[in-house]
Amino acid sequence: MLGYALRRIAGIVPVLLILLTVSFFVIRLAPGGPFAAGRALPARTRAQLERLYGLNRPLLVQYAHYLRALAHGNLGPSYSMRDETVAGLIASGLPVSAALGLAALALAVLTGVPLGARAALRRDGPLDRSLAAFAALTLALPSFVTGPLLALVFGLWLRWLPVAGWQPDTPRDLILPAVTLALPLSASIARLMRASLLEVLGASYIRAARARGLGRARVLWRHALPPALVPVVSYLGPAATYLVTGSLVVETVFELPGTGRYLVQGALDRDYTLVMGMVLVYGTLTLLANLAADLLHAWLDPRVRHEPL
């Protein structure tokens, strides 16, 4: 198991490197530059700035410089926001984004798994039916629709929760964004959980376990749940991807000072270092989430462990 984990972790590094390399060159292929014309800068200032940041040197040299700095943990200065470093921007934004993502993930798992399991155990019962309708609806609702709608209903009409904004240490500000982000995730998890538990409950080994007189609770918890959780765990990878993209929207809708806005704005401003920093952060996050999903899967299912990579 440990060997498997180590092998998988080692597999991340080259993927990340490829991602960074491709991003590095693609960004620079785009028309315009951080200090390009149309940004109301005198030509001389621009040339000075470009020399300052080494942007006038050959691409490969720039690339080598970037990698060397990265190896020392230096993500470089931001081109569009003077006086800020990319690392500083990430350090200020990431806690907000991470709090949002983790809260949404926790909410989705803690509601989705029990709801789905319950629906499977009481198949075609009232909960099962309403879950199906709820899932169909929330899955059809992109977060940029639910977000404003929730804000409209709970923020403006009912006045229960803040419409938008963020003050440090006020978890109330996080409720609506986290719910918005968690809704479709929770629905997906509930659906997955329901389907997989139904499948497991229909398996021969569950009937065989019941034939041994082990009791309902034990058959459910020990024999049925672990394999039923496998699809849910595998879903953590795609879920992380969803959370990353979804948080961009939710942070925009609710005006949260997370890192999401840096990505779009950075790309529009051709703020090379900032975009690279974002690629690094979000790329690492999703790769780690996928890895965690695979490791959990191997832990739940002994058959995976024994397979060669």
Site for another protein in 280-299 (CB under 8 A): 282-283, 286-287, 290
Contact call for residue 17 and another protein (CB under 8 A) = no
Report the residue number, 42 or 213, with the smaller CB distance to another protein.
Answer: 213
Of residues 107-166, those binding another protein (CB under 8 A): 136-137, 139-142, 144-145, 147-149, 151-152, 156
Taking the complex as a whole, the smallest distance from the CB of residue 182 to another protein amounts, in Å, to: 17
Contact call for residue 306 and another protein (CB under 8 A) = yes
Q: How far apart are CA 86 and CA 109, in angstroms?
A: 32
For 64-89, give one letter per residue: b (16+ CB within 10 A) or e: eebeeebeeeebbbbbbbeeebbbeb
Of residues 181-220, those binding another protein (CB under 8 A): 202-205, 207-216, 218
The residue length of the chain stands at 309
Q: Whose CA is closest to 210, among 197, 222, 227?
A: 222
How would you classify residue 59: left for phi > 0, otherwise alpha for psi between -120 and 50, otherwise beta?
Answer: alpha
Of residues 29-58, those binding another protein (CB under 8 A): 29-31
Contact call for residue 5 and another protein (CB under 8 A) = no
Q: Which stretch binds another protein (CB under 8 A): 52-60, 71-79, 174-182, 263-271?
A: 263-271
Q: How far apart are CA 188 and CA 234, in angstroms?
A: 12
Q: Binding string, 59-98, against another protein, x = CB under 8 A?
A: ----------------------------------------
Measured between alpha carbons, how far is residue 163 from residues 172, 212, 230 in Å?
10, 56, 37
- Which of 241, 255, 295, 296 binds another protein (CB under 8 A)? It is 241
Report the residue number, 171 or 302, with the smaller CB distance to another protein.
Answer: 302
Q: Whose CA is closest to 295, among 19, 11, 13?
A: 11
Contact call for residue 167 and another protein (CB under 8 A) = no
